[in-house]
Chains A and B, each alone.
Chain A
Amino acid sequence: MSNLGVVMLVHTALHRAEQVARHWTASGCPVVIHVDQNVSDQVFSDFVASCDDNPLIRFSRRHKCPWGSWGLVEASQAGAELMLDAFPDVHHVYLSSGACLPLRPVPELIEYLAQRPRVDFIESATTADVSWTIGGLDQERFTLRFPFSWRRHRKLFDAYVKLQRALGMRRSIPEGLVPHMGSQWWCLTRQTLSAILQDPKRKVYDRYFRRVWIPDESYFQTLARLYSTHIESRSLTLSKFDFQGRPHIFYDDHLQLLRRSDCFVARKIWCNADRLYQTFLTKQSSAVTPAEPNPGKIDRVFSKAVERRTRGRDGLYMQSRFPRHGSENGLTCFPYSVFQGFTELFDDFESWLTDTTGARVHGHLFAPERAQFSGGETISNGALSDCATLRDYNPTAFLSNLIWNTRGERQCFQYGPRDTQSLNWFLARDKNAQISVVTGAWAISLFRSNMSFSDIRAEAARLQQIETKQLEVLNSVWTKARVRTWSLAEFVESPMEPLQTVADEIGMQTQTHLTTAPTMVDLSGFGQFLQNLKNQGMHPYLMGDFPADDVFGKRTKPYHKPYLVQ
């Protein structure tokens, strides 16, 4: 008979439990099974009968064991007592559940424990040091009373906790106890376990822990600290928890992961994972060199799952992720740049920007006629159509889709007061947006157009109004986007500096200074044009102070050539 005894808590999938129990006994490990009292007597007696032929399998007295209840501790106590009494050779007792599966050959575990005869493997940390408590109760789980079930009577549970807090009700912790918590799956030595079970003050402790919340995570963890000479504060059972504290479940496709983890026992295994049971319960060849458990890779897989569930992928909107206003963690998934007024001011701005930064530069994506994708495409990544009606049906979805579909590639697009305006708030709130605005630049295209002056006047008034509203949004206190605005006059006076800033920010190519500049349009006569608008009773103010005597018109000439700063 082996030095290792296994106590197994079982409530469903009894056939699997039997399989695993027989696997343990095949290597000489005695097994004590505790079956939940909620299992019907008929099923239980059938189960007992089916294990009848195996002298190493015993059944302990049954208790009711709902989640997080005292019954689980009672069950473990009963199982452990029977184990210690019935099998005097047992040196280590391993607590496992019916959904646990030994991953390495049992003799390896026996050998591992035999080399560490005084060591208790039990995860046990003080309440201040654990991060995984559910419901935010850590120290309080030891000082309040919890007569109501958290799962079934959540409201009562919460109300009673609140009441106790309000009244300042406190329980005193029995003398000498320092509350510790940890995984309920432990492996203790006979000395420690019998000291806990035969403690003269056990009645006091039991009465106290009966009203502690989730005692199965703290009873043995706390008491082991009293008696153990050598605690290894970790569990030999590999068990991962999701963000709600439920154990993750292993399936057939985890086979390789589990194999490489070198852990002794894993839980929880899905009861129909035939391949896992078949693989791990047949005779395996032992590893050449006995390895320490190494669950690193599994950790990564499951912590990724937790992150996906709690934070998700930024900028993704889908059938199972649709964040409320303000909970988006980034409205889009990747930084992008918005330019307003630049194409009006520079004839070849788009091609210049493409050459300088290597980003993908679109035209006016929200133009009233159609979305001007780069290269004049009618359809873009992700089968996004250029149709204006479709786009304007949900412009924010259009933009977040575009950025999502091209993630990894920097997108730039032109924007302006002629375009769809309903996504201004979206742009302003998005921390990935870098918005550069030359205010009043829309007047240049009017200036160069061939419209009659009265139409120009009306259009100028309309565009100015739209841009003013847009600027209000962009300058609001809720804005998270990186917004830069220059008035047209300011910009024309020294265009290179802002261009340099903007290009640096996109920062695709490692280049310190701009060597070329885009060609600025000829602005001679523009000052007079604005003066004419004023004379017509309109007040163009977004351009800044543009003198009517055409100072800038003359000064634009030098910028036609490639330009070097410094």
Chain B
Amino acid sequence: MRLRRKRRILRCVRKRRDLSTVSNNTGKIKRRDSLLMSVVRNEKIRLPYFLEYYRKLGVNHFLFVDNDSDDGTAEFLAAQPDVSVWHTNASYRRATFGIDWSNYLLRKYAHGHWVLTVDPDEFFIYPFCDTRPLRALTDWLDGCAVRSFGTMLLDMYPRGPVDAQVYTEGQDPFEIARWFDSGNYMITRNPEYGNLWIQGGPRARVFFRDTPSKAPALNKIPLVKWDRRYAYVSSTHSLLPRGLNQVYDEWGGEKTSGALLHAKLINTLGEKAREEMGRRQHYRKSGEYQAYAQGLDEQPVFWCTWSEKYINWRQLEILGLMSKGNWA
């Protein structure tokens, strides 16, 4: 495992050559700042709300890798004072789906900082997020000597067909995608890295009925007090060293955990699926996107009579989709 971690780190250092600086404001990062890391491609429409959301949460600085966008993403990001952007036109797949790039930037700029690694369609929520800023959570985790914080990716979807409502720039995507599945998740433990493997939810229910083993993983560990010896292994599902994956309790208790609200299933999905199909740069040769593209032609409706309408984090905590754990 140590070798595997070393290999990951070597690999990410080698992949630094892929990256060229567009705008580097990392000098502004102060000692106790929380950071956010994200790899984006043609996400300009999502970014204004994304930045607004996380700034409000208390993220102090953003690190972005722009994977060859042509919709003005890089220009938009470069104009933000609290954002640093790197550009690359190298292969997303050959950079282990972007993980090598993030690992490198994290290693270089996030050592000793709490850092959130999320996609531009993922919105982090945690217990008391309406009354306590991110800093309260990270201070508390520091006090408990906890280095990583686990979440589940919660797929949100609209009431009607996915492309019935059009998302406009700057809009809260959960005005459209307000609904989620509350209790159809399947969990197993991954003995290799010690992380949990969560599947299920609306995508498994609609797109992967016949091949549930291919349904996307929903377990994520996005918030880590980074150290330059750490490395993400596959997306943010698992990390090395393995101790960081121990975000769950095995003796019956509940650790504190959050959720990532996933605003993927809105009208931008169709376009994305077609684009990614062409590029074949995603996990399992974009198998997931193939399923979407096929399924999307049939105008899928994820909503069902038992869908739950999102209200706030307390609702998720009661439903058992996240936990306050020991934090009161």
Contact = CB atoms under 8 A, between A and B. Distances in A.
Taking residues whose C-beta sits less than 8 angstroms from the other chain, chain A's interface range is: 35 or more
Contacts of B308: 383
A319 B326 contact: no
Nearest to B204: A390
Contacts of A380: 306
Interface in B245-270: 247-257
Given A308-B253, A309-B255, A321-B248, A248 B183 contact: no
A383 B255 CA distance: 25
Interface string B296-327: 00000000111110000000000011111111
Nearest to B196: A322
B148 to A, nearest CB: 11
A397 interface: yes
B204 A270 contact: no
Interface in A223-279: 242-244, 246, 248-249, 251-253, 270-272
Interface stretch (A179-187, A297-305, A530-538): A297-305
B67 interface: no
Contacts of B320: 313, 316, 318, 404
B10 to A, nearest CB: 30
A310 interface: yes
A550 interface: no
A405 interface: yes
A394 interface: yes
Given A382-B184, A384-B183, A321 B326 contact: no
Interface in B116-172: 128, 131-133, 135-136, 139-140, 143-144, 150-152
Given A380-B306, A383-B307, A389 B210 contact: yes
A379 interface: yes
B304 A321 contact: no
Contacts of B182: 382-383, 405
Kindly name the residue among B144, B199, B248 whose own CB sees the greatest number of chain A CB atoms within 10 A.
B248
Interface string B181-209: 11111111100000010111010110011
Contacts of A379: 304-306
B186 A251 contact: no
A306 B326 contact: yes
Contacts of A390: 204-205, 208-209, 212
A311 interface: yes
B213 interface: yes
Given A251-B131, A321-B249, A381 B183 contact: yes
Contacts of B136: 251, 270, 272
Nearest to B257: A320
B219 interface: yes
Interface stretch (A323-331, A419-427, A470-478, A504-512): A323-331
B254 A308 contact: yes
Contacts of A302: 328
A359 B22 CA distance: 64
Nearest to A325: B250
A383 B181 contact: yes
A309 B205 contact: no
A525 B205 CA distance: 45
Contacts of B255: 309, 320-321
A56 to B, nearest CB: 31
A417 B136 CA distance: 54
Given A252-B132, A306-B326, A404-B320, A319 B183 contact: no
Given A309-B326, A379-B305, A384-B184, 5 more contacts: A249-B140, A253-B128, A305-B326, A320-B247, A389-B211
Interface of A: 242-244, 246, 248-249, 251-253, 270-272, 301-302, 304-306, 308-313, 316-324, 327-329, 379-385, 387, 389-390, 393-394, 397-398, 401, 404-405
12 contacts: A305-B328, A308-B324, A309-B253, A312-B249, A318-B257, A319-B322, A322-B187, A379-B305, A381-B183, A382-B183, A393-B213, A405-B183
Interface of B: 128, 131-133, 135-136, 139-140, 143-144, 150-152, 181-189, 196, 198-200, 202, 204-205, 208-213, 219, 247-257, 304-308, 320-328
